[in-house]
Amino acid sequence: MDSILIGAPGAGKGTQAEKLSQLLGVRHIASGDLFRKAFEEQTELALKAQKYVDLGELVPDELTIPAVLRHVEEPESMHGVLLDGFPRTLAQAQALDAVLQGVNRQIDLAIYLKLSREELLRRIAGRLFCHAHQHVYHVQFRPPKVADTCDLDGSKLYQRPDDTGEALRRRLVIFFNEATQVLDYYRKQHKLRKVDGNQSIDQVTAMLLNEINDSMR
Ligand code: ADP
Ligand code: ADP
């Protein structure tokens, strides 16, 4: 099964994709995590992409598409992928289709995780990431056992610089401008479903699993 989670910054895509990918036995690929890993490792991609991420702008398609699709094409993705944060533009959605078609696969389901603006802002204001593997916490809703330390790998937690100020404002504006195109693309193919993301982590997982099971009938 190949599917996509679409949602504004802070909607819970990463949190849910991590759980679902384990339950479904598919690979979780998060475009934002790929960029942040590149920054930690100071790769060539990082040099080119950093300025866009810092400003809260989309990284141009010519950098993003190959960086993400390379992972979709790897053998580890053979049993299916759950994409989080990609595609964000029509060109990305079309490029993804072309790669999947090449191996006789297609996107089976796109889920839009919809939240109120107030809830998005609460989620982002308290979000923390770990340096080593981008594991996600929330100071209030999902606190680590030891303050500022990742439960899973012991690395230090940090707040993303683009989760504050002008970069955050830009990201929210861009999402609500660009998402319509991508949502329409999957709606026209009857692949789009909507889930209310304002509930607890476990409630959202249950609703997502319902939609996934229903779509496979
Ligand atoms: P969020 O947690 O807000 O959904 P991400 O971690 O997915 O954010 O993305 C962080 C940043 O990485 C974005 O603001 C953007 O600069 C870049 N980025 C991530 N995915 C994409 C994409 N599909 N296309 C272009 N830029 C992207
Ligand atoms: P996205 O990947 O869509 O940007 P995240 O999965 O990083 O979103 O979630 C944003 C923040 O909200 C994180 O700090 C996460 O721990 C927290 N969070 C995620 N889902 C929920 C939920 N259902 N209820 C409360 N907090 C949540």
pLDDT in tens, the chain (217 residues): 999 999 999 999 999 999 999 999 999 999 999 999 999 899 999 999 999 999 999 999 999 999 999 999 999 999 999 999 999 999 999 999 999 999 999 999 999 999 999 999 999 999 999 999 889 999 999 999 999 999 999 999 999 999 999 999 999 999 999 999 999 999 999 999 999 999 999 999 999 999 999 998 8
Please tell me the distance from the alpha carbon of residue 82 to that of residue 103, in angstroms, as a whole number: 16
Please tell me the distance from the alpha carbon of residue 7 to that of residue 88, in angstroms, as a whole number: 10
Which residue lies with its CA nearest to atom 18 of ligand 1? 32
What is the pLDDT at residue 159? 96
DSSP 156-191: BEE--GGGSHHHHHHHHHHHHHHHHHHHHHHHHTT-
**pTM given for the model:** 0.96
Q: 137 in ligand 2 pocket by Cβ < 6 Å?
A: yes
88 belongs to the catalytic site: yes
Ligand 2 atom closest to the CA of 204, numbered from 1: 23
Ligand 1 atom closest to the CA of 167, numbered from 1: 14
What is the pLDDT at residue 42? 92
What is the pLDDT at residue 217? 83
What is the pLDDT at residue 41? 92
Q: 135 in ligand 2 pocket by Cβ < 6 Å?
A: no
Q: Which of 130, 93, 72, 133 is nearest to 6 (CA)?
A: 93
127 belongs to the catalytic site: yes
Q: Which of 138, 174, 207 to mutate to test the pocket of ligand 2 (most atoms within 8 A of CB)?
A: 138
Q: 15 in ligand 2 pocket by Cβ < 6 Å?
A: yes
**The one-letter amino acid at 208:** L
What is the pLDDT at residue 78? 94
Q: Which of 4, 36, 113, 141 to mutate to test the pocket of ligand 2 (most atoms within 8 A of CB)?
A: 141
Please tell me the distance from the alpha carbon of residue 96 to that of residue 64, in angstroms, as a whole number: 11
Give the number of whichever ligand sits closest to the CA of residue 33: 1
What is the pLDDT at residue 216? 86
